[in-house]
Structure formats: structure tokens, C-alpha cells
Chain A
Amino acid sequence: MKEKILDLLAEICEDDVVKEDLTIDLFEEELLDSLAVAQLLMEAEDRLGVVVPLTGIEREDISTPEKIIALIEQKASEA
């Protein structure tokens, strides 16, 4: 699961650095914006089968690759 999430994230951010540095601040480094977040949630649902509701998360919950993995894995275990 973790690898799939990272592949997806790298594809959306168009940068492999997100696979190497799991604590990088994605918004500060301008790797993610609100549009990319929408794409991330859409792909998470379609490719990984995990629904993460947009208004159920704060920017802080997805600010690093590490947090995104934790969030998606948590939602996957809840379903």
C-alpha cells in the first residue's frame, strides 16, 4: 500500500523527491496545491479504493508524504 501511495503522489507532484524525503512539506515546497489535492483524493478512490472525504481533512493532515500514507492507510483500515 505504502509504495502505491508514494507512486501516486510522485505522479501527481511530478517529482520523485516525495519518495525520498517523507517529511518534506508539500505545500511549502509547492509540490501540492488545492487542485493537486483534489486529484490525489480522486485517484486514491479510483486506484486504491480508499475514499477520503475532502471536507473531512485539514491541510495539516496531508502536509507531508508520511502523513498522507498514514491517513490513507487509516481510512483503508476503517472501510
Chain B
Amino acid sequence: MITLFGDFSFFLLLALLLIPAFVLGYLEKPRRYYILFASIVFDALAIGGDARHIFFFVLYMVWEIVLLRLYVSVRQKRGREGHIYAVFLILCILPLALSKISGFLPIGLFQILGISYLTFKAAQIIIETYDGLIKELSVLDTLNFLLFFPCISSGPIDRSRRYEEDLKGAIPRAEYLELAGDGLFKLMLGLLYKVVLASLCYKGVQLFEESLGFSALVGYAYAYGLYMFFDFAGYSLMAVGASQFFGIRTPANFDKPFLSKDIKDFWDRWHISLSHWFRDFLFSRFVMQSMRHKWFGDRLKTACAGFIVDMFVMGIWHGITPYYILYGLYHGVLLALTEVWQKKSKFYKKHKKDKWYRVLSWALTMQLVMFGFLLFSGKLFM
């Protein structure tokens, strides 16, 4: 059994399996079958020999592929019908919901590798099929997209149409070499982030963990926040780097989050593939429905409700645990307050471009973000 981007045997095997990928890329040969092969090897090794895990993983894949295939053909025949769409979407998310509530059940259901992330990918295909953007579905390419090992366990969350373009598209040699070279750099940088810097920050987390008092709590929040960043950004960089060797331009997950000028900006820089998924497939659609049925009066109120619902669901997705849900609600309320401030305040409109305002706004944002990490860590609930 191996841990993806986590242990020595993984990197050894990665090095071995990247060589044929590089040769194929260099020779400008089709890469799709090799990618599927490499993904199956890695996913199988990551799952290991646990019969229960294997059973649920295979069941999950069959379930999703059958649903997707069926919905694409139903949508072609019956058109844009809301009720059918809702049923398929619910069935698509059902295994994830079962896995999330498994903690409250006597038996574990769908406790499988990457289910949280896999469900985003499958649901995106259902939603875009309903929207008419996806009209046909190849089982092999969809499996390729879902099983793609660099991103299977923790993202970044790619989109199927984008992925398939990379999968099928020919890349000229010069461009491939640049892509793979940049991939190698990202693998190294990610390794530095995750192995060296995250471990260093974790020492800080342990140091503050044992102390009491306000300043220790502040220290803990900062150390934990930095640890989270280097650990997850490092992981994401390695996933993007490995993807590039296969000619897949997996989207970036982080963009200097500690330079965010406000909370809205933060969510364009932190776990981007997740927050943008929520923006495109939950927030925007919720906002459209509430404007259509006039649930909240004006646009500003609608936006505020949208942010809170959006982040609440994101909290639940992290896990049905009080502090994850609170973390979500906290960010939802912060986004709503930011929206009101930026839309209503004359002071904001007058000073938003002033240097002192931008520095102050950044400094405040950092404190709010760090407090959010403290909530997320669960330390306040122990």
C-alpha cells in the first residue's frame, strides 16, 4: 500500500511511471491509454488489499458511470427537464452523503479513496449535461478523468471538458518539454513545501499546543494556518506537476493566499478549484433560483444568502462536525458582510484605492483568515 505524494515508495514508483509518460509526450504519441493504465496501478496500490474498500470503490465507479451514461442519453431524448435532472443529481451525490453520515451508522458505507473529490467531478458532468454543454460521454475517457491518480484523493478538482481536451489534444514537442519541465519544478517545489516547510510549521503547532493563554492561541492559529498552507499547497503543486508530465494541465489550487486584500479575494486564492466549483455550480445557481422566485427581495440580500448557503455546504462537505460547519458559516457571514460593505459604504468607494486602506484591509483579512483556521483546527472545541 502506498500514500499518494506521501511516502518514499510512492515517489519511487512515480519516477518509474513518469518515464514512459515523458517518452510518449516527447514522441508526440497518444497518451490516453497509458494515463488510464498508470492511474489504475496507482489507485489500486493506494487502495490496497482491503476487500471492503475494493468492493465499494468498484461499486462507486460502476454506479457513477451508469448514472452518467444514462443521464446523457435521457437528456438527449427528453431535453431540459428539471425533475429528471434533480433525481440524477441526487443519485450522483448519494454515495458521498452515505459516506459522510457513515460515522453515525453502525456500518461504514463508501469509505473510499477520494470520494469527496470524485463526487465533484461526477456532479459537474451531470450539471453540464443538463445545461447542454455535454452531449456525449465516452466511458473510457470518463473513467480516465475520474481515476486520474495525481488528483484522485485530494484534487485539484478539474473539469471534464477541459480534461478531455488535454487528453485528446496533440502537444507539439517544444510545448510538451516546457510543460514537463515546469511540472518537474512544481514537483520539487511542492516537495519542499510539504516535506520541509509544512513539517517546520507543524513543529510550531506542537509547540503552541501545550501552552495556555491568549498569546499561545494566537501563535497556534498562525502556525496551524501556515502548516495548512504549506501542506496542502505543496500537495496540490505536486499533483499539478505530475499531471503535466502526462500532458494534463490540472488547474492550480493556490495563488498567494496570504496576499488577499479581502475575504472575497481570499476565496479566489485559497483552494481555488474547490471554491470555484462551488461558485459555478452552487452559488450562481442558488442565486439564479432565488432571483427567479424572489426569495430575498433585492440583489444584495440574495448575494448574502447565497454566500452563507455556499459556505455552509462547503463546511458540511469537509465533514459533519460542529467546527467544520461553524468554519463554513463563519466564512459565509464574512463574505456577506464584505459584499454589503463594498456595495453600500461610501467610505469604501472613496478610499478603496488608497494605500493605507489597502494595507489595513489586508492586515484585517489576515487576522480573520487565521481565526478561521483556528475554528477549522477544532482546537477551540477540545
Contacts and interface: CB of A to CB of B under 8 A. Distances in A.
A complexed with B: yes
Interface of A: 34-39, 41-42, 46, 51, 53-56
Contacts of A42: 288, 291-292
B107 interface: no
Contacts of B127: 55
14 contacts: A35-B299, A35-B306, A38-B288, A39-B288, A39-B299, A41-B288, A51-B132, A53-B128, A53-B131, A54-B280, A55-B128, A55-B133, A55-B280, A56-B128
Residue of A37, A38, A39, A46 with highest tally of chain B CB at under 10 A: A38
A58 to B, nearest CB: 12
Given A51-B80, A54-B280, A55-B280, A35 B131 contact: no
Given A35-B299, A39-B299, A42-B292, A55 B287 contact: no
Nearest to A54: B284
A37 B285 CA distance: 11
Contacts of B292: 42, 46
A36 B281 CA distance: 16
Given A34-B279, A51-B80, A56 B131 contact: yes
B85 to A, nearest CB: 13
A41 B285 CA distance: 10
Contacts, number: 43
A56 B135 CA distance: 13
B303 A35 contact: yes
Contact of A35 (B280, B281, B287): B287
Contact size range, B: 20 to 34
Interface in B140-159: 159
Interface of B: 80, 127-128, 131-133, 159, 279-281, 284-285, 287-288, 291-292, 299, 302-303, 306
A51 B279 CA distance: 19
Given A55-B128, A55-B133, 20 more contacts: A34-B279, A34-B284, A35-B287, A35-B302, A36-B299, A38-B284, A38-B288, A41-B288, A42-B292, A46-B292, A51-B80, A51-B131, A53-B128, A53-B131, A54-B285, A55-B127, A55-B131, A55-B281, A56-B128, A56-B131
A64 B128 CA distance: 25
A53 B133 contact: yes
Contacts of B299: 35-36, 39
A38 B291 contact: yes
Nearest to A56: B133
A54 B279 CA distance: 11
B154 to A, nearest CB: 22
7 A-B pairs with least C-beta separation: A53-B131, A42-B288, A38-B287, A38-B284, A56-B133, A35-B303, A38-B288
Contacts of B287: 35, 38-39
A14 to B, nearest CB: 10
Contacts of A35: 287, 299, 302-303, 306
Contacts of A55: 127-128, 131, 133, 159, 280-281
Nearest to B277: A55
Contacts of B279: 34
B136 to A, nearest CB: 16
